[in-house]
A and B are shown apart, each in its own frame.
Chain A
Amino acid sequence: GAGVSQSPSNKVTEKGKDVELRCDPISGHTALYWYRQSLGQGLEFLIYFQGNSAPDKSGLPSDRFSAERTGGSVSTLTIQRTQQEDSAVYLCASSLGPGITTEAFFGQGTRLTVV
């Protein structure tokens, strides 16, 4: 596609429910990243995929967070038993690869609100 696409753009969920956030990267981009941005804060790294594998999951805050990527393309970030502190904008980015020329392009984000 022309850019990174994320869905939904907004999600309001009740505390304790599970949510799934979707990311469609730019076609041909093998690297995919998830970041979280809380109100007024910088971007917090969550997980990095190269193809379908995740060599770096170091940013996932707890075992309630998981992510997968299939076919080297679409990725889903799942948050189980959501808590209010999970409220944030979840951003996905993709790039050609982890090499030196690896400009990452971001989607518009999913704004998650846990009530």
Chain B
Amino acid sequence: EDQVTQSPEALRLQEGESSSLNCSYTVSGLRGLFWYRQDPGKGPEFLFTLYSAGEEKEKERLKATLTKKESFLHITAPKPEDSATYLCAVLTSGNTGKLIFGQGTTLQVKP
């Protein structure tokens, strides 16, 4: 069964304290891995798509990387406005287009 697991469930950082969020996956065949950000009361906001192991994408303080078993979302020198829930999802070769989501990591950055 295709499965996506995110860790940690929650993360508290001080402003400027860099860290990484993990998304590990077990799937029949990966077509793409997606990172989303979700603020309270809002829908998920698309951040990145990664397609193959070794690929990296960057956006401001965020950098996403992909291996054959997991993806990391690195946050460099975070600011309070980076506080949100970060969701990882996979699109597999075995399904018709649905995304399989992890449970998310809730990040809190304190000033």
Contact = CB atoms under 8 A, between A and B. Distances in A.
Report whether chain A binds chain B: yes
A91 B38 CA distance: 12
A100 B32 contact: yes
Interface in A91-112: 91, 93, 95, 97-98, 100-109
A98 B96 contact: yes
A71 interface: no
B12 interface: no
B95 A43 contact: no
Interface string A39-58: 00111010010100001100
Interface string A73-97: 0000000000000000001010101
Interface residues of B, number: 24
Contacts of B102: 42
B78 interface: no
A42 B104 contact: yes
A51 B96 CA distance: 13
Interface stretch (B13-21, B44-52, B66-74): B44-52
Contacts of A43: 44, 87, 89, 99, 101
B49 A56 contact: no
B43 A100 contact: no
Nearest to B106: A40
Interface of A: 4, 31, 33, 35, 41-43, 45, 48, 50, 55-56, 59, 91, 93, 95, 97-98, 100-109
Closest A-B pairs by Cβ, 6 of them: A98-B97, A106-B43, A43-B101, A42-B103, A56-B96, A55-B96
19 contacts: A4-B43, A31-B97, A33-B99, A43-B44, A43-B87, A43-B99, A45-B101, A48-B96, A48-B97, A50-B96, A50-B97, A55-B96, A56-B98, A59-B98, A91-B44, A103-B34, A106-B36, A108-B43, A109-B43
Interface of B: 31-32, 34, 36, 42-46, 49, 51, 87, 89, 91, 95-104
